[in-house]
Structure formats: structure tokens, C-alpha cells
């Protein structure tokens, strides 16, 4: 995952933060996602325009400064949807810790990408769902992107 922090640290930290937030987790999940999107945007000279520029900029962030997973690949489709494929995710591992304690998981990455796409692509972005086809840490986050 990251050369700075082992995935286990990231997972434990994520679980501890969301356990501490408690019942307000859904509200803070969106806020944390928006704050992460703002942090990404501040690293750029200007927001990328268009799907290709956005894809390059966000994947670079996910491979470098904010490496939360082994793989994070974004695809825009011709039908106006987008999909983030994630594998080896520290957030998912943290959510498993939460579920083991009878708590719900939260994914600020889903909200971060929604916020970042909305700002960069200047449109309305809707998270339409997620699919978890494989082991813990693998998922597809799906979005509708409206201009």
C-alpha cells in the first residue's frame, strides 16, 4: 500500500476514527470525503478539466500522496457513468474491524471521489452504489456524472 504507513496502521486508524465518531459517522463520512477532495485540489496548480485530465490527476494522487489501496483505477464510460476499481484497500480492512465490533463501516473515499469529480468536472455527481466481488479490500464504486 504505502511506503509511509503499513496497511494495518491505516485500517486500525480508520476504524478508531469512525468508532469514535459513533452515530454521527454518516454525516462525518461525507464531510471527511469533501475535506480529502479539497486537500487533493490544493495540491494542483489548477483543477483538471475533462475526464482524461481528471483521471490522470486523481490516480496520481491515489498512487502517491494518498495511497489508501494497492490499486485505485478510475474509468469513465460513454453512458455518463464512472467506476472506481479498488483492490487492497486499507479503508475496507478498517471497516471489517468495525463490523467485527457490531458497527457499520464508512467509506470516505466514495465521498471524496464524488466531491472531487463534482468540482473538477463542474457537474452533479451521484454515487449509485458499490459492489464487492472479491476479498475484503476489493470493490467497485459507481457514479452517475451529469453536466
Residue 97 contacts residue 16 (beta carbons within 8 Å): no
The CA angle 26-37-118, to the nearest 5 degrees, is 90
- pLDDT tens-digit map of 94-142: 999 999 999 999 999 999 999 999 999 999 999 999 999 989 999 999 9
Rounded to whole angstroms, the Cα distance separating 59 from 72 reads: 7
Domain architecture of the chain: domains with CATH: 7-146 (3.30.1380.20)
**For residue 121, what pLDDT is reported?**
94
Q: Which residue has the cell 483505477?
A: 73
- At residue 52 the predicted structure's pLDDT band, cuts being 50, 70 and 90, is very high
β-sheet bridge partners, residue 87: 71
The mean pLDDT of 16-35, rounded to a whole number, is 94
- At residue 6 the predicted structure's pLDDT band, cuts being 50, 70 and 90, is confident
Q: What is the pTM of this model?
A: 0.91
Q: What is the mean pLDDT of the chain?
A: 93
Rounded to whole angstroms, the Cα distance separating 34 from 32 reads: 5
Amino acid at each position: 500500500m504505502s511506503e509511509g504507513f503499513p496497511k494495518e496502521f491505516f485500517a486500525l486508524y480508520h476504524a478508531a476514527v469512525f468508532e469514535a465518531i459513533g452515530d454521527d459517522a454518516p454525516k462525518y463520512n461525507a464531510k471527511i470525503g469533501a475535506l480529502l477532495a479539497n486537500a487533493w485540489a490544493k495540491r494542483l496548480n489548477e483543477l483538471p478539466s475533462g475526464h482524461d485530465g481528471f483521471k490522470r490527476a486523481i490516480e496520481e494522487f491515489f498512487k502517491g500522496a494518498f495511497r489508501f489501496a494497492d490499486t485505485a483505477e478510475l474509468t469513465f464510460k460513454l453512458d455518463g457513468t464512472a467506476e472506481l476499481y479498488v483492490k487492497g484497500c486499507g479503508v475496507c480492512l478498517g471497516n471489517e474491524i468495525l463490523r467485527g465490533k457490531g458497527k457499520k463501516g464508512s467509506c470516505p473515499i466514495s465521498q471524496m471521489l464524488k466531491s472531487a469529480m463534482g468540482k473538477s468536472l463542474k457537474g452533479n455527481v451521484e454515487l449509485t452504489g458499490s459492489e464487492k466481488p472479491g476479498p475484503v479490500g476489493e470493490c467497485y464504486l459507481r457514479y452517475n456524472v451529469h453536466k
